[in-house]
Amino acid sequence: MDAGEFVARVRERGEYPDREEAERVCAAVLSVLGHRLGLGEPEDLAAQLPSPLAEAVLSDAGTSGHTWGVEEFLRHVAEATGGTVDTARLDASAVLSTLAEAVHGGELNQLISQLPPAYTRLFGLPGLA
């Protein structure tokens, strides 16, 4: 999936008014996700994403490996987007469910295995929780 298609799907899922808003949300959520993932995983994920999505994942890769639960992850997304925790949940779901479709199954499994089970709902995979 190329960057344009990724952003278009996020825009549709998140019901954002324009492409710029969807791009801003993508960058924020992917940056926070990159910050959350363990050492090496941001690079593995970025390798499967087109630019500028890959750059967003890597933007804070040097400070990655936090063990945030879902609620703390959402607080960081809310801070990055200037929204609330409720809007951050919608933003994260729009981006992460699109991400689940954009990466290969092996990478998705590796990614999900680094996160607590509650994250699977944000990826649109509640059956894995």
Residue 121 phi/psi, 5-degree rounding, is: -65, -40
What's the Cα-to-Cα distance from 64 to each of 58, 59, 68, 88, rounded to whole Å? 9, 10, 11, 20
Alpha-carbon gap, residue 116 to 125, rounded angstroms: 13
Task: Name the residue with tokens 């609330």.
Answer: 84
Return the pLDDT at 66.
Answer: 76
Say if CB 85 and CB 75 are below 8 A apart. Answer: yes
Full-model pTM:
0.93
Quick one: how many helices (H) and strands (E) in the chain? 7, 0
What does the pLDDT look like over 60-92, one tens digit per residue?
Answer: 665 666 788 999 999 999 999 999 999 999 999
Return the pLDDT at 128.
Answer: 56
What CATH superfamily classification does 3-128 receive?
Uncharacterized conserved protein DUF2267 (1.10.490.110)
Domain ranges of the chain: 3-128
* Helix residue spans in 37-84 (DSSP H): 41-46, 53-58, 70-81
